């Protein structure tokens, strides 16, 4: 199996790209480093392409190792043939390899095992290798009470069990039935009782296996797990049995059609199809889980890359009823400056007292924005805030933020380290405030699974989910870059090449020695060796560094080349600091891109990246994004009318549509069919968490509190 050729074919990449990427990965380079600083080597492969390649590479290498292991195990039995070796070489999945191994695998005691122990294998061979067998006559010779073969019926049954197991272990048979099930099988679900549930659409459901959408698979699985659905895969059984029989008919056993048909029926119904059905269900589940994981990852990426609202004082408002609303004010740098608890909601309803308290805090700390969590009592809290703001002279807005994970953070070890003297309940309000100022810096402190922007995240493979989400966090953090002198260790540990322990060492060094003056100072940090420095250096920023390149994405390995570029184009380092490169594109065009690459010794992709970086030192790519919708007033379901056009924020994207915050208690749903006038295959292709969109109200269900929205024919 040529892994490189397989990856080229599957991923649509050039061979040199695949070879280079594998080599870089095997050298221990991180995906962000390869994607950012080895573009010329990989042909500008993206972080997504590199992670897909790495994931598939790991699978194929594991497959290769397992095939060698199987070959060894069969050889130890003295049963390895050239045909088996060829079959193993052709196997493209772990399942196919295991099918080949099945006849040689040590089994638990089965009916066939018992029959072999009773000496009935020769009788089984006679059925397969003799013409027009008189089975009862031949079976007489195998009756042996000492071996528990009491009569000819027992002998015949045992021989049939042996052949049924041979049929069941036949890799070609299993492959044929598996392929038929994938092509022509039906996934069928039925209600197990008469009780109504959210799974009612699957109470009498049938769809070709090949057409079932990933989110439906997971919904059906959950309905089955919760006891509302019975689920099965249906196939043309008679046809399959006939094909199993045909595979074991030959000139050698002419005349034994009826016996072999009987055995094929037993093998198929008792052994083969139940196993294949489990495989198909597992296969569908894998598809559903992988899709759900990818959707989760894309949503998380959108959430992490939401533009920060800088230079504002924020009041975090964590809504509640009985226990009171927790309030935390953070200054423009995210530092906690004040906190309290108010009781404007039921059962206390101390509205005026709460207003008085917040007005004082707003005035004292010059609060610009109130960030309200969207959890319990959010609606009532929003109405309270909206009403209070009408009584304030200075301009203050509010915004509803997704508070998912705030409670997880508040009880975490990290929160305790950051705010040891602050009550756990207040810490959630701090998180709600800070995630408006810098979403990424705050959200990386929380387990991604707790952020609440996926679908069926509790039904998927946890190891794979963590792998993808960790990759998303790592790519997002490194795409933005991290301020070395202000970042928490929770943010630093996601920088390429930096572990949690090294991140803590960086913070400890900073606390002891003061701010880092340049990137080279990183080398003084305990346990941060040359390899880690190489991976990390380009992704950290030092705002007031003497060398302005330390505040860009230019890697130190390219500093000399960058200085050469500046010299060739008639600039100096000072021009970077003073934003004096306004005509650099003009000078580059005049000099010639190809010539500059030759004269600087850099590849085209690297040179272009350097040019973009030195144009705007310290830039944050998130700043170009659309800021959250700030509100002054509140809307209710009763305020809505059909055909009303509104502006909202995408809160979650799932396979069947997108949930949009339009300023009422519950998010409205833009169904996949209402996203565009053109056919939409995946909503995530067009929408990302955090997007600001214009929608039209097309349906209002006041009883269930649900709103249907459309983006069709609405000018964005």
Between strands 186-191 and 229-234, the pairing is antiparallel
Residue 690 has pLDDT above 90, yes or no: no
- pLDDT-based confidence at residue 685 (cuts at 50, 70, 90): confident
CB neighbourhood size of 426 (10 A): 20
- Six token digits for residue 616: 């705007």
- pLDDT-based confidence at residue 625 (cuts at 50, 70, 90): confident
- Check: CB of residue 342 under 8 Å from CB of residue 371: no
The residue written with tokens 């249907």 in the block is: 708
pLDDT for 303 equals 87
- Measured distance CA(698)–CA(645) in Å, rounded: 10
pLDDT for 635 equals 65
Across the range 603-623, mean pLDDT stands at 92
- Measured distance CA(478)–CA(570) in Å, rounded: 31
- Measured distance CA(554)–CA(557) in Å, rounded: 8
pLDDT for 570 equals 95
Residue 633 has pLDDT above 70, yes or no: no
Residue 686 has pLDDT above 70, yes or no: yes
The residue written with tokens 């193993």 in the block is: 88
Grouping H, G, I as helix, E, B as strand and the rest as coil, residue 376 is coil
Strands of 237-319, DSSP E = 314-318
pLDDT for 620 equals 87
Residue 332 has pLDDT above 80, yes or no: yes
pLDDT digit string, tens, across residues 69-102: 999 999 999 999 999 999 999 999 999 999 999 9
Strands of 608-691, DSSP E = 645-654, 657-661, 668-671
Residue 590 has pLDDT above 80, yes or no: yes
Phi/psi at 460 (nearest 5 deg)?
-110, 165
The mean pLDDT value of the chain amounts to 93
- pLDDT-based confidence at residue 636 (cuts at 50, 70, 90): confident
Rounded (5°) CA angle 244-137-119: 70
Residue 288 has pLDDT above 80, yes or no: yes
486 contact partners, CB below 8 Å, separation of at least 6: none
- pLDDT-based confidence at residue 225 (cuts at 50, 70, 90): very high
- The DSSP H or E segment spanning 85 is helix 82-90
Least confident of 127-131, 167-171, 644-648: 644-648
Rounded (5°) CA angle 25-31-37: 95
- Measured distance CA(67)–CA(88) in Å, rounded: 6
Radius of gyration of the chain (CA): 33
CATH no. for 500-615: 1.10.150.310
- Measured distance CA(611)–CA(5) in Å, rounded: 35
- Measured distance CA(593)–CA(92) in Å, rounded: 45
Chain-centroid distance of CA 295 in Å reads: 6
Torsion sign across C-alpha atoms 125, 130, 136, 140: negative
Q: What percent of the chain has pLDDT over 90?
A: 80
- The DSSP H or E segment spanning 694 is strand 692-701
pLDDT digit string, tens, across residues 147-194: 999 999 999 999 999 999 999 999 999 999 999 999 999 999 999 998
pLDDT for 26 equals 98
Give the number of C-alpha atoms closer than 13 A to the C-alpha of residue 517, restricted to the C-beta side: 3
pLDDT for 702 equals 85
**Alpha carbon separation from 167 to 86, 108, 164 (Å, rounded):** 20, 17, 5
Q: What CA dihedral angle connects 577, 582, 586 and 587, to 10 degrees? A: -30
User: Among 460, 52, 409, 494, which residue's Cα sits nearest to residue 296?
Assistant: 460
- pLDDT-based confidence at residue 632 (cuts at 50, 70, 90): low
User: Where do the structural domains in the chain lie, given as residue ranges?
Assistant: 3-104, 314-446, 500-615, 637-710
- Measured distance CA(158)–CA(122) in Å, rounded: 11
pLDDT digit string, tens, across residues 372-407: 998 888 888 988 999 999 999 889 999 988 888 888
**Alpha carbon separation from 283 to 185, 458, 540 (Å, rounded):** 13, 18, 42
Residue 644: burial class (beta carbons within 10 Å; 0-12, 13-18, 19+):
middle
Considering the four listed CATH numbers 1.10.287.610, 1.10.3210.10, 1.10.10.650, 3.30.1360.120, the one that applies to the domain covering 3-104 is: 1.10.10.650
- pLDDT-based confidence at residue 1 (cuts at 50, 70, 90): confident
pLDDT for 11 equals 96
b/e sequence 52-71, b meaning 16+ C-beta within 10 Å: bbbeebeebeebeebbeebb
Q: Which CATH superfamily is domain 314-446 in?
A: YqgF/RNase H-like domain (3.30.420.140)
- pLDDT-based confidence at residue 692 (cuts at 50, 70, 90): confident
Helices (H), 592-683: 593-600, 604-615
pLDDT digit string, tens, across residues 236-284: 999 999 999 999 999 999 999 999 999 999 999 999 999 999 999 999 9
Residue 323 has pLDDT above 80, yes or no: yes
- pLDDT-based confidence at residue 624 (cuts at 50, 70, 90): confident
Q: 637-710: which CATH topology?
A: OB fold (Dihydrolipoamide Acetyltransferase, E2P) (2.40.50)
Across the range 656-675, mean pLDDT stands at 89
pLDDT for 433 equals 96
- pLDDT-based confidence at residue 550 (cuts at 50, 70, 90): very high
pLDDT for 284 equals 97
Give the number of C-alpha atoms closer than 13 A to the C-alpha of residue 311, restricted to the C-beta side: 1
- Measured distance CA(502)–CA(513) in Å, rounded: 16
Across the range 22-34, mean pLDDT stands at 97
Residue 658 has pLDDT above 70, yes or no: yes
Chain-centroid distance of CA 55 in Å reads: 12
- Check: CB of residue 625 under 8 Å from CB of residue 55: no
């Amino acid at each position: 199996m040529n892994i490189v050729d397989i990856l080229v074919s599957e991923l649509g990449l050039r061979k040199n790209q695949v070879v280079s990427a594998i080599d870089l990965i095997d050298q221990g380079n991180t995906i962000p480093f390869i994607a950012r600083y080895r573009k010329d080597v990989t042909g500008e492969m993206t972080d997504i392409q590199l992670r897909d390649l790495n994931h598939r590479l790991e699978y194929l290498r594991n497959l290769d190792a397992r095939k060698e292991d199987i070959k060894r195990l069969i050889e130890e039995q003295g049963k390895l043939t050239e045909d088996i070796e060829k079959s193993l070489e052709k196997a493209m999945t772990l399942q196919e390899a295991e099918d080949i191994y099945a006849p040689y695998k040590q089994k638990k005691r089965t009916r066939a095992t018992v029959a072999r122990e009773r000496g009935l294998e020769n009788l089984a061979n006679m059925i397969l290798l003799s013409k027009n067998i008189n089975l009862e006559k031949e079976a007489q010779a195998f009756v042996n009470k000492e071996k528990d073969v009491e009569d000819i019926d027992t002998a015949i049954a045992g021989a049939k069990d042996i052949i049924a197991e041979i049929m069941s272990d036949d890799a070609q048979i299993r492959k044929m039935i598996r392929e038929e099930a994938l092509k022509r099988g039906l996934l069928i679900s039925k209600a197990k009782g008469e009780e109504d549930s959210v799974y009612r659409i699957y109470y009498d459901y049938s769809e070709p296996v090949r057409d079932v959408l990933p989110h439906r698979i997971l919904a059906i699985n959950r309905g089955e797990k919760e006891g509302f659905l019975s689920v099965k895969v249906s196939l043309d059984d008679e046809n399959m049995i006939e094909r199993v029989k045909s595979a074991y008919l030959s000139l050698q056993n002419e005349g034994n059609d009826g016996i072999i048909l009987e055995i094929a029926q037993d093998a198929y119904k008792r052994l083969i199809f139940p196993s294949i059905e489990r495989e198909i269900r597992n296969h569908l589940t894998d598809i559903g889980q992988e899709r759900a994981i990818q959707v989760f990852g894309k949503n998380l990426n959108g959430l992490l890359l939401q533009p920060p609202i800088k230079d504002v004082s924020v009041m975090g408002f964590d809504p509640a009823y009985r226990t009171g609303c927790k309030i935390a004010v953070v200054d423009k740098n995210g530092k906690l400056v004040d906190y309290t608890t108010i009781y404007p909601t039921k059962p206390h309803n101390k509205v005026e007292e709460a207003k008085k308290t917040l007005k004082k805090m707003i005035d004292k700390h010059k609060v610009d924005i109130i960030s309200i969590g969207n959890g319990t009592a959010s609606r009532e809290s929003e109405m309270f805030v909206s009403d209070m703001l009408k009584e304030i002279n200075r301009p203050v807005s509010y915004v509803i933020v997704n508070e998912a994970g705030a409670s997880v953070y508040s009880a975490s070890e990290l929160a305790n380290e950051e705010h040891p003297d602050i009550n756990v309940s207040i810490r959630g309000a701090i998180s709600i405030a800070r995630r408006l100022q810098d979403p990424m810096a705050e959200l990386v402190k929380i387990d991604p699974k707790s952020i609440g922007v996926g679908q069926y995240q509790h039904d998927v493979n946890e190891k794979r989910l963590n792998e993808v989400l960790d990759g998303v966090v790592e790519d997002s953090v490194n795409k933005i870059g991290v301020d070395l002198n202000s970042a928490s260790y929770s943010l630093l540990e996601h920088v390429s090449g930096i572990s949690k322990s090294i991140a803590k060492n960086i913070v400890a060094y900073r606390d002891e020695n003061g701010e880092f003056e340049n990137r080279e100072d990183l080398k003084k940090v305990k346990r941060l060796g040359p390899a880690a420095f190489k991976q990390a250096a380009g992704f950290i920023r030092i705002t007031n560094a003497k060398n302005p390149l330390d505040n860009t994405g230019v890697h130190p390995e390219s500093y000399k080349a960058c200085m050469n570029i500046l010299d060739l184009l008639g600039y100096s380092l000072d021009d970077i600091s003073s934003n004096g490169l306004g005509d650099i594109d003009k000078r580059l065009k005049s000099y010639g891109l190809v010539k500059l690459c030759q004269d600087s010794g850099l590849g085209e992709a690297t040179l272009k990246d350097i040019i973009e970086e030195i144009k705007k030192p310290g830039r944050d790519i998130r700043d170009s994004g659309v800021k959250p919708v700030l509100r002054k007033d509140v809307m209710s379901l009763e305020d809505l009318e059909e055909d009303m056009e509104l502006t909202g924020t995408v809160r979650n994207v799932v396979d069947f549509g997108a949930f949009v915050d339009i300023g009422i208690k519950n998010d409205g749903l833009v169904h996949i069919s209402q996203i565009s006038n053109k056919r939409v295959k995946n909503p995530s292709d067009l929408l990302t968490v955090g997007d600001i969109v214009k929608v039209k109200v097309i349906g209002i269900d006041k009883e269930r509190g649900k709103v249907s929205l459309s983006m069709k024919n609405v000018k964005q």
